[in-house]
Amino acid sequence: MILWMYLYCYARASPPHSFFHVDDFQSPEELAKYLRMLDEKDDLYNKYFRWKGTGNFINTFFRCRICAMLHDTSRASNVYRDLEKWWRGPEVCIGQDSWRQHQRTSKYIVEDYLL
C-alpha cells in the first residue's frame, strides 16, 4: 500500500500489480473494506507477490547506486562539473510540482558546507 509517494513514481519503478495506492479509493472506508478483503482472501492478497522471481530488482537508493557506480570497473572514469545536472537529469521523478526553480547549484552547496 502506497500512501505518501505519487502513484506515477511507483508505477515507473515497481512491477505491475505489486502495490496499490490510497488514492485508488474514494474514501478511507473503501480502503478499509479492501484491506479487510485482502486479509480474508489469500488468493487476492497473494496476487501482489506474483511478480517475485520474474525479473531483477534494481536498488534505487542513491547511496547504493553511487557505491555500485564507484565499484564498477567496466565504466570509464568521468569528471562532472555540475553534480545537479548529472545526478537529476531530465527524466528523474520530481513530483507533480517542479522544484527545479528552487534548487541550489552544487557550487553553492560546496561553498556553504565544504569551504
* pLDDT, one tens digit for every residue, the chain (115 residues): 666 666 667 677 778 788 888 888 888 899 899 999 999 999 988 888 888 877 666 667 778 888 888 888 887 887 878 877 777 766 665 555 555 554 555 555 555 555 4
Grid look-up 525479473 returns 55
| Residue 23 counted as domain residue | yes
- CB within 8 A of 15, min separation 6: which ones? 51, 54, 55
| Residue 2 counted as domain residue | no
Could you give the CA distance from residue 82 to residue 67 in angstroms, rounded to a whole number?
19
Residue 53 grid cell: 522471481
| Residue 104 counted as domain residue | yes
Please give the C-alpha separations between residue 15 and each of 52, 56, 97, in angstroms, as whole numbers.
Answer: 9, 10, 25
Q: What's the pLDDT at 12? A: 73
| Residue 54 counted as domain residue | no
Domain tally, the chain:
2
The parent domain of residue 74 ranges over 62-114
- The length of the chain in residues reads 115
Residue 50 grid cell: 506474483
Are 101 and 70 in a shared domain?
yes
Q: What's the pLDDT at 25? A: 86
| Residue 108 counted as domain residue | yes
- CB within 8 A of 93, min separation 6: which ones? 6, 8, 9, 12
| Residue 41 counted as domain residue | yes
Based on its alpha-carbon atoms, the radius of gyration of the chain, rounded to whole angstroms, reads 20
pTM above 0.75, yes or no: no
Q: What's the pLDDT at 37? A: 92
Are 107 and 72 in a shared domain?
yes
| Residue 56 counted as domain residue | no
